[in-house]
Amino acid sequence: MNSDASPTARALLALELIQGSPGITADRLADKLGVSERAARRYVGILREAEVPIDSVRGPYDGYRVGRGLRLPPLMFTAAEALGLVMAVLDGHHDAGDPTDPVGSALGKIMRALPEPVAAQAEAVRRTTAPAPDRGAARPEPGTTTALVQACSNHRPVRLCYRSEAGSEWCMDVDPWAVVVRHGRWYLLCRSRAADARRAYRIDRMREVEVLDGTFSPPAGLDAVAMLEEHLAVGWEYETEVVIDAPFDAVSRCIPRAVGRLEPLGNGASRLVGSTSNPAWYAEQLAGIPASYRIVGGPELREAARILGRRLLAASGAAEEADSAG
């Protein structure tokens, strides 16, 4: 324990220890704080003067616990716990019952602060709920995400060590612009210093993050979500171009940015230009457009659309009807 810490700081640390170990004895509390038993009791007194309900556990060892009531005592979270809770709210968390997980640890503190009847109901839900995992989600390590969020906020460049889906590994220096969550996956939108180009990297694939000296200026008026989706729509293996027989305003809300760039053509038509590594998936996205369209660029996409069309006809029975009519 830092000898320069104020009595209030020590009292708050004492509160965290009592929250984490209900029934902790005065001598054990003193040992954890690195002070005398008399000083530890004084910090408990400071908490009680601040109207934090610290109850004495009667018995041979005279321990302490945080009392339950309508007024909740202060909760102190680590950065990893706090960010873990935010991440859990955004994309769901399936390890909330694990006390060694940052979210599980933070949730445990909240549970201990709740009034007894509420805590009992919440604990029953926590114990018996079996959430189905989101197989598309990829939750990164909270400490890595914390470092990136802070670097974005402070406009500090970072060095990333990254592992691709194919297993290749490399390190790079980037200017981190924003952390973006999209469909359960966490991305860092950034500028590659070596290539002087925009990049987006999956945070769950980062093996190491090192904050570098210096600062940078992010793009003015940055719309991180729009820029990420536009970035994810370009640079893939198969180029695509689709003409849609509907005006831009009528279809723009129905087409995700990640599919490509939509632009008006005039005469009541629009054009969608993009690229994909998965023509079958792209054809399925096009099938949801509420207007007729023509694939004018991308032989791979045209073939995928033919296969999808035959599947849909077969599912509806239309193919059999056509054969019978012939």
Tell me the per-residue pLDDT of 155-197, one tens digit each, with 9 for 90 and over. 999 999 999 877 889 999 999 999 998 877 889 999 999 999 9
pLDDT band at 277 (very low <50, low <70, confident <90, very high): confident
Fold of the domain built from segment(s) 142-222: SH3 type barrels. (2.30.30)
Same fold, 7-66 and 238-316: no
Asked whether the beta carbons of 67 and 53 are under 8 A apart, the reply is yes
Does residue 325 carry a pLDDT above 60? no
pLDDT at residue number 78? 66
Share of the chain above pLDDT 70, in %: 75
Cβ within 8 Å of residue 218, ≥6 positions away: 152, 155, 175, 177, 178
pLDDT at residue number 131? 62
pLDDT at residue number 259? 87
The domain limits of the chain are: 7-66, 79-128, 142-222, 238-316
pLDDT band at 294 (very low <50, low <70, confident <90, very high): very high
Q: Give the Cα separation of 103 and 82 in Å (integer).
A: 8
The model's pLDDT over 244-271, given as tens digits with 9 standing for 90+, comes to 999 999 998 888 878 888 999 988 999 9
CATH architecture assigned to 7-66: Orthogonal Bundle (1.10)
pLDDT band at 210 (very low <50, low <70, confident <90, very high): very high
* Comparison of pLDDT for 119 and 279, the residue scoring more: 279
Q: Give the Cα separation of 179 and 152 in Å (integer).
A: 8
* Comparison of pLDDT for 69 and 34, the residue scoring more: 34
Q: What is the CA radius of gyration of the chain?
A: 28
The phi, psi pair for 55, rounded to 5°, reads: -95, 145
* Mean pLDDT of all residues in 213-236: 88
* Mean pLDDT of all residues in 260-288: 91
Does residue 61 carry a pLDDT above 60? no
pLDDT band at 20 (very low <50, low <70, confident <90, very high): confident
Q: Give the Cα separation of 301 and 239 in Å (integer).
A: 9
* Comparison of pLDDT for 37 and 76, the residue scoring more: 37
Q: Give the Cα separation of 170 and 141 in Å (integer).
A: 19
pLDDT band at 73 (very low <50, low <70, confident <90, very high): low
The model's pLDDT over 122-147, given as tens digits with 9 standing for 90+, comes to 666 666 666 666 666 677 888 899 89
Largest CA distance in the chain: 98
Which CATH entry fits the domain spanning 238-316: 3.40.1000, 3.30.70, 3.40.720, 3.40.50?
Answer: 3.30.70
* Mean pLDDT of all residues in 67-91: 60
User: Could you give the angle at the alpha carbon of 65 between the alpha carbons of 63 and 67, nearest 5°?
Assistant: 140
Give the residues across from 238 on adjacent strands: 276
pLDDT at residue number 2? 47
pLDDT band at 70 (very low <50, low <70, confident <90, very high): very low
Q: Give the Cα separation of 147 and 80 in Å (integer).
A: 10
pLDDT band at 88 (very low <50, low <70, confident <90, very high): low
pLDDT at residue number 84? 67
Report the chain's mean pLDDT, rounded to a whole number: 82
pLDDT at residue number 57? 77
pLDDT at residue number 126? 61
pLDDT at residue number 4? 47
Q: Nearest-CA neighbor of 219 among 235, 201, 197, 202?
A: 197
* Comparison of pLDDT for 122 and 18, the residue scoring more: 18
